Chain A
Amino acid sequence: MSDARTEIFSSIRRALGVNGTEAPRRQSVEDRLEHAPKGVVPARGQGDLATRTEIFKTQALRAQATLADVASLADIPAEVAVYLRANNLAAKIRGGLDPRLASMPWTETEFIVEQEKEGSDLTSISIAFGGIAETGTLALVSGKENPTHLNFLPDHHIVVLQASEIVSDYERLLRKLRMVYGKGLMPRTVNFITGPSRSADIAHTLLLGAHGPRRLHIIVVNDA
């Protein structure tokens, strides 16, 4: 049996009328991979930090996330306690090993460090890698600081977003990823999250809380 890989490549090359060694084609591909041209970037996310933050909030609300504002990271636990009480939830929350979470004054709420999936978690807290104003989207990256499963298993996902990390568009967020992880390299998972989980699979009726969190609560830290 001839090798599937070899045969697929020959079939593609036969169809395109090429042999794969043509210098101009190789150059064109190398250039694109190297420079990653931007294409069309919508105007609507653009602006200074205050403007971007406002656009982010408007878009996140449109996607049915809920929002709160605090002045500094130290104010997060108090805001979390407010949210848990308002939603009649137990005073405990799970999060990863992000040092920013560890250094917060968790007096009212029990902060539980979780690394492995647990499955019974009702509430979790993560710190976002960034926010994208254009669509009110959060970007979260995998790792022990903010385990990916905490973005999906709990009923209520609280995400801390530092206003200084809100960028106008996807292209700027991607640039930031490259700066942190290196060109062509990625963490295992990047989650772009726009609002809470939903489905319209039952009779075309849009319902929140399908398999992921029923609620997405974003606490914006006005740190800039």
Chain B
Amino acid sequence: MSLTSTSQQFKANAHHALGDADLQAAMAHVPTGFVASRAAAIARLPEFEALRDSARDIKNHTLAHLDLYLEAYESKVLAAGGHVHFARTSDEANAIVLEICKSHGAKTVTKGKSMISEEIGLNAVLDANGIKPIETDLGEYIIQLRRETPSHIIAPAAHLTKDQVEADFRRVHVNLDAKRDLEEPQTLLAEARTIMRQNFLAADIGITGANFLIAETGTSIIVTNEGNGDLTQSLPKVHIVLAAIEKLVPTLEDAAQILRVLARSATGQDMSVYTTLSTGPRRADDPDGPEHYHVIILDNGRSSMLAGPFKDMLRCIRCGACMNHCPVYQSIGGHAYGWVYPGPMGAVLTPSFIGLDQSSDLPNASTFCGQCESVCPVRIPLPGLMRLWRERSFSRQLMPFAQRAALGFWVFFAKNPRLYRAATWAAMSALGFFARGRDNLNALPFLKAWTKSRDFPAPQGGTFQAQWAKRHTGPKS
């Protein structure tokens, strides 16, 4: 693990995020933007649910035959004149990138958006070795200026307002007129475009991620809206692709199935603007394209996930729908999660990567509303997997004493039905007494910490068990 994690301080991070006015202003766009656009796109495609099943099945099939598809993929890349490197860890992946950079005497590297690059902490390694990494995705460029990490896997600057971006551009682009008008977002975009153009043309090496690796043809696919990924990979002499083992799919047809759910789930577009299929280096009579093509395939613990219940997580296609629809993510943004991957998918992935002891709060960062699972294009049972981490957290005694004690207390009553009925009846009557006819309780004795930030609904009628018993013994129609 190369990136320092603050996942252990999740609660403090979340508390801070809730009080951050800029963050709250920026996050207000998530439900109106991503969520509404996705719903509209899906309403236009009757086959969407069938495509989700298809995408899930393709990923499951590939994972079950991953060794064989990797072999097939590798031989196709080699046949097309490319190179394939395998990296067990972040350190190995970084070392391979460095080696390629050094062998070409590279000074500047342009980069398309890649979460694997974030996961391995590549930029810091390049910087430390005198190679300048330039993020070319607009959102990544902005956060690079701010020395931040992405707060969203497809919209890295989702946590920022326009005014913050303007302030950063004024701070960094000092050779431009200080009095220039940057009121409209369009002018900020134009400024970034002009600056980045020179970088694209001057870079020695271009590094991109991959949304898919195709075993049938040895092709890597990137999906972008800005075109930065294409300028990154087609102008320099060397193209390096960073991808993890789970990006494999068997055929181009399989990629087409998943592409149909990817953009719709991510941004609500039918297709992203640029879907680019790259196979090997430029051909003998090609006028452009890279002369060298390297693919670095990263494991970083994924292969061992194949054995256990978290293998479902390896289906993830990094669309971001789970975080867009998550009430917790919508409230606190991505940085609070403390590591590379935020939101529900991050809450499941992060403990696998950095250890549950370092991230035991993340699987609790959920209301269990089930939105994430209901929108996941590859049907990952995210709440179930978070619950599994909670169980492990309990059995490994990673929970605070009070929480363990409370659960133990509950188990005692739950195992004694008579006691349970009596206790719930008593609790309900007490709540009714405190409510005094109101629908919600905003204060309860001994539970101030809980009621300080939320109301408790007052009981309506008998206990659940009493109502259930009544319904099932009553007259049948």
Contact = CB atoms under 8 A, between A and B. Distances in A.
Do chains A and B stick together as partners? yes
A204 to B, nearest CB: 4
Nearest to A197: B227
Nearest to A20: B67
Contact of B65 (A29, A136, A192): A29
Interface stretch (A35-43, A74-82, A84-92, A160-168): A35-43
A184 B216 contact: yes
B31 to A, nearest CB: 11
B70 A9 contact: yes
A204 B283 CA distance: 39
Contacts of A205: 162, 185
Contacts of B197: 119, 211
Interface residues of A, number: 81
B234 interface: yes
Contact of B26 (A20, A170, A203): A203
B272 interface: yes
Nearest to A190: B277
Task: Give the contact-size bracket for chain B.
Answer: 35 or more
B137 interface: yes
Contacts of B188: 202
B102 interface: no
Contacts of B299: 8, 11
Contacts of B294: none
A14 B67 CA distance: 10
A152 B155 contact: no
Nearest to B58: A39
A125 interface: no
Contacts of A210: 138, 189, 193, 225-228
A152 B234 CA distance: 10
Contact of A33 (B72, B235, B273, B287): B72
Interface string A186-209: 111111111111111111110101
Contacts of B288: 115-117, 142, 147-149
A82 B63 CA distance: 53
B136 interface: yes
A179 interface: no
A224 interface: no
A152 B230 contact: yes
A192 B231 contact: no
Contact of B287 (A5, A18, A115, A153): A115
Given A194-B269, A207-B185, A119 B201 contact: yes
A14 B307 contact: yes
Given A25-B65, A211-B231, A212-B227, A204 B158 contact: yes
A196 B283 CA distance: 27
Contacts of B156: 201
Contacts of B279: 186-189
B325 interface: no
Nearest to B141: A201
A43 B273 contact: no
> For B71, B273, B275, B297, which residue has the most chain A Cβ atoms within 10 angstroms?
B273
B170 to A, nearest CB: 14
A37 B253 CA distance: 7
A53 interface: no
B129 interface: no
B61 A202 contact: no
A197 B137 CA distance: 12
Contacts of A7: 88
A29 B227 contact: no
B387 to A, nearest CB: 22
A171 interface: yes
B253 A174 contact: yes
Interface of B: 26, 29-30, 33, 45-47, 50-51, 54, 58, 61, 64-72, 76, 80, 85-88, 92, 136-139, 142, 155-158, 160-162, 165, 185-186, 188-190, 193, 196-197, 200-201, 215-219, 225-228, 230-231, 234-235, 245, 250-254, 256-257, 259-260, 267, 269-283, 285-289, 297, 299, 303-307
26 contacts: A9-B67, A9-B70, A15-B303, A33-B250, A44-B45, A116-B287, A117-B235, A171-B256, A177-B252, A186-B279, A190-B277, A191-B274, A191-B277, A192-B277, A193-B274, A194-B272, A197-B225, A197-B226, A198-B225, A199-B189, A202-B142, A209-B189, A209-B190, A211-B138, A211-B196, A212-B274
Given A197-B274, A203-B29, 8 more contacts: A4-B85, A142-B289, A144-B286, A152-B234, A196-B273, A201-B157, A203-B160, A212-B228
